[in-house]
Chains A and B, each alone.
Chain A
Amino acid sequence: MTTPRIRVPSSVKAGEPFEIRTLIDHPMETGLRHQTGQAVARRMITRFEAQADGALLFTADFRNGTSANPYVAFHVRLAQTTTISFLWREEDGREYRATQRVTVS
């Protein structure tokens, strides 16, 4: 239900921009929605982080207007072979992770 999906090239040219696309299966319930007269409990991922060898590369703070299965794409350039790690954190602290090594030639 909360499977991260990342699309990151495994090898790139030094300094050349490439796209990273990320998505995680998640309901992103705001707590404002009602089903059969009852409010559906809030359950939100509010933080996304991408790190390059441990240094913050890109972050997102999600609020109610972010869709379910939050999708984020951004552009990166690397000078050397790097491990990119991804973290999604729910408001209650639950965390989901993914990593991808990118070889730079």
Chain B
Amino acid sequence: MTQRAAALDRRSLLGVALTLVAVPATRASEALPPDVEAAIREQVGGAAAAEGGIALRAPETAENGAFVPVTVSVHSAMAGDDRCRAIHLFATRNPTPGVASYRFGAGIARAEVSVRVRLAEGQMLIAYAEMADGTVRRAGARVAVTTGGCLT
């Protein structure tokens, strides 16, 4: 039983590894819809976000927009002053842009979270990381969606 569970585990991990494709960070200059800007301001505040030190991994094409695997990794030792406090995820072309906010307490070993999001259509996903020193980082990834996941 334990062994079978372990085997399934490896297979599912392999599947995830194959479907996740590293996507380069998007330009911060890309204009965002006002509702997306507002949602970002509400969760992250007005601090200018730097590109770099954060990676958003998502499939280039998601067949099913209802379950799109996304991993956000932030470069941080998660020790001393070098900590990531929170990660926020936004979907720029969903009916509402908020996906989730994840917050890290003491005992978190990596500034990384893997989740599943729903995407109504192909769009840009944006992740923000709030660091303990008050700086903000951001990364984006464009995901094409074959079957939309929000309204069906």
Q: How large is the interface on B (under 10, 10 to 19, 20 to 34, 35 or more residues)?
A: 35 or more
Q: How large is the interface on A (under 10, 10 to 19, 20 to 34, 35 or more residues)?
A: 20 to 34
Q: Is the CB of A67 within 8 A of B105?
A: no
Residue B66 interfacial (CB < 8 Å): yes
How far apart are the CA atoms of A30 and B97 in the complex, in Å? 12
Chain A contact residues: helix, strand, loop or mixed = strand
Q: Is the CB of B102 within 8 A of A58?
A: yes
Instruction: Give chain B residues whose Cβ lies under 8 Å from the Cβ of A5.
Output: none
Our pick among B68, B101, B150 for the contact of A32 (Cβ within 8 Å) is B150
How far apart are the CA atoms of A64 and B95 in the complex, in Å? 9
Q: Is the CB of A17 within 8 A of B109?
A: yes
Q: Is the CB of B117 within 8 A of A65?
A: yes
Instruction: Give chain A residues whose Cβ lies under 8 Å from the Cβ of B33.
Output: none
Instruction: Give chain B residues whose Cβ lies under 8 Å from the Cβ of A55.
Output: 105-107
Instruction: Give chain B residues whose Cβ lies under 8 Å from the Cβ of A58.
Output: 102-105, 108
Which 5 residue pairs are nearest across A and B when measured between Cβ atoms?
A63-B98, A65-B99, A17-B109, A75-B110, A77-B109
